[in-house]
Each structure stands twice: as structure tokens, then as C-alpha cells.
Amino acid sequence: MIFRVINFVVIGALVLAAAYVYRIKFDSTVQAEHLAKLRGEVRRERDRIAALRAEWGELDNPARIEILAKRFLQLKPIAPTQFDSLDRLPERPPDDARAANDDPIGGMIGNLDPPETGTIPAAQAAPAAPAAAPPEAPSGAPNPPSGAPNPPSGAPNLPSGAPNQ
């Protein structure tokens, strides 16, 4: 009796094991085919990448770029004089000049030295144009403000020259 029960259990286990093995085998076949398909795709993809790289190499060829650049661009080869080193860059503008967003250069001019520009009209006390000022100074009496004619000629240079350097 006991032997018969064991027999049935073993037969059942055998069937289950066979079914399980079949499923694993079937899955693995599906996976293997999937893998082969993916490998093929990867290879095709790589071939396509190679073809595109070859085409890019052809399009990116310096000889071709040079012809196109000469025809369509205004650019010219760089001359040695057009290089400069970083340590020759001018100082960074002060913060308050950069803060004036609407007119940064105007802000810098405004920040330069207000008392100096303010004193000249007061010392000269004349509405003369700057160009007319130097000839007037020698003809005028050599009094203490004789130093004053120099600042007007120098002063217009300062704001325009400073941002350029």
C-alpha cells in the first residue's frame, strides 16, 4: 500500500519535473532567439553608425569646409596680431558700474570722478566749447586756474578711453 502511494507521488513528481523542464527549455529558446535578434540589430545599428560616421567624415572634411567657408562666410584666417594673453585683459569694471543695467557705460562715466568734472565749469565760469577753451587760456591772465585748461582736454579722453583699454 505504502509502495503504491510512493509510486504515484513519484509519477506525479516526474510529470511536474518534465513540464517544468519543458517550460525552462522553451523560455530559453525564446530568449536565445531574442538575443540573436538583438545581436543582429546591434550589428546593423553599428553598421549604420559606421556609415553615418563615414558620411560625417566626408562632410566634415577640412577641404570641403574651407570651400564652403570661403563661399558663404566673411571669416578670414587668424593673424598672429589677433591673439592676446589673458593677463593683458583689463581689470573687471567696478560692481556699481555693472549694476546699472540700462546703461552700463553711462554708469561708468557717471562714476568716474564727479567732483573733477564739476569744478571745471565753475573755475572757468565760461560757457565756451572745449575746443575753444585752450586758445583762451593763454590769452587770459596767468592766474591760479591756469592748470584748469588741461583737465578739460584730458577729461573727455578719460571716459571714452577707459573702457577701451
Residues near another protein (CB under 8 A) are 25, 28-29, 32-33, 35-37, 39-40, 43, 46-47, 50-51, 53-58, 60-63, 66, 77-78, 80-81, 83, 85
Rank residues 55 and 103 by Cβ distance to another protein and give the closer one: 55
What's the closest the beta carbon of residue 16 comes to another protein, in angstroms? Answer: 18
Residue with cell 536565445: 32
What's the closest the beta carbon of residue 52 comes to another protein, in angstroms? Answer: 10
Rank residues 89 and 132 by Cβ distance to another protein and give the closer one: 89
What cell numbers appear for 130 in the block?
572745449
110: Cβ–Cβ under 8 A, 6 or more apart, which residues? 100
Rank residues 61 and 150 by Cβ distance to another protein and give the closer one: 61
Task: List, in sequence order, every beta strand (DSSP E) within the chain.
Answer: none
Rank residues 26 and 126 by Cβ distance to another protein and give the closer one: 26
What's the closest the beta carbon of residue 75 comes to another protein, in angstroms? Answer: 13
- For residue 17, what are the CA distances in angstroms to 4, 14, 22, 27? 20, 5, 8, 15
What's the closest the beta carbon of residue 163 comes to another protein, in angstroms? Answer: 24
Phi, psi of 149 (to 5 degrees): -60, -30
What's the closest the beta carbon of residue 61 comes to another protein, in angstroms? Answer: 5
- For residue 95, what are the CA distances in angstroms to 29, 85, 91, 101, 117? 71, 24, 12, 11, 22
User: How far apart (Å, rounded) are the C-alpha atoms in residues 86 and 4?
Assistant: 96
Rank residues 56 and 103 by Cβ distance to another protein and give the closer one: 56
